[in-house]
Structure 1
Amino acid sequence: MKISTKGRYGLTIMMALAEHYGKGPLALKVIAEKHNLSEHYLEQLIAPLRNAGLVNSIRGAYGGYVLASEPHEITTADIIRVLEGPIRPVEIMDDDDPAKRELWIKIRDAVKGVLDNTTLADLISFDKDDHTQDPYMFYI
C-alpha cells in the first residue's frame, strides 16, 4: 500500500486542526497557504473526513473546521482508512504459498499496528520536539 497525496494531505489537514484544537475553527485557506497546498484539493479531502465524523464544519465569516474529538482520540489509521481505504500493503491471495502468506500478514499487521497506535496528539508532539539529534540516524 502506498499512501497517496490524499492520505498525506489529509494528515496535514488533521495535524493542523489538532495543533489548533481548542482555539476555534480553522479555515482550509489558512492550512493551504501555510503548507503551500491547493485549497481546492483540501476541500475535496475534508468532505470524507467530515462525513466520517472526524471533523465538524463551522459556518460563517469566522468559520472553518474543528476536530470532532480530542487529538489523542483520533488515530492515523482513522484518517488513512477514510481517505485511502482498507490498510492492505499487499493483496493476500488464496494461492500464495504459506510462507509468503504469513509474511504478507505480518507486514499488514505491523503497518496496522503503527497506524492504530499513533494519534494526532503523538504526531503534533513529535513535530514540536527537536529531532535533529536522532541517535539512530545512519548515513550511507
Structure 2
Amino acid sequence: MDRTPERLKKELEEELRLSSEDLRSHAWYHGRIPRQVSENLVQRDGDFLVRDSLSSPGNFVLTCQWKNLAQHFKINRTVLRLSEAYSRVQYQFEMESFDSIPGLVRCYVGNRRPISQQSGAIIFQPINRTVPLWCLEERYGTSP
C-alpha cells in the first residue's frame, strides 16, 4: 500500500469531503483509537475529539480536557421506532437529542453548553486527525 505523506494527505482530504452528516468527514472524529491515546491528544481545557467506543461496539465517546483532566462522555444512542417500516436514531449526552453526532457537536461547541451538568465541561477546540482513519486503526491495532 502506498504510504507516502502525499498519498495519506490525499486520502484524508477524500474522507473530509464526504457528506457532512458522515462522521468520517469530520477531522475531530478519530475512529477506533484507544481511550489512553485519546487522553494524550486532549491537552488544554476545551480540547475534544469523538472516537468509537472499543468496549461497547457501535457506540461513541466524546473525550475532552476540562479542569486539567481528560474526561470521557458516552454519546447515548437511542433508536426511535416510529412505525414498522421507519425508525430513527438519535444521539444525546443528558437532555437534548440530535439526529446526528455532527449536529450534537455543532450545538455544544457553538453554544458553549456544558456536556453534563455535573462536570460543567465545555468543548470548543477540536483535535483534528492528520491521517486517514484506516491509518489510526492500523497504528493502534484496533481494526474491526
TM-score, length-normalised on structure 2?
A: 0.22
Question: TM-score, length-normalised on structure 1?
Answer: 0.22
Structure with the higher fraction of residues in helix conformation: 1
Structure 1 or 2: larger strand share? 2
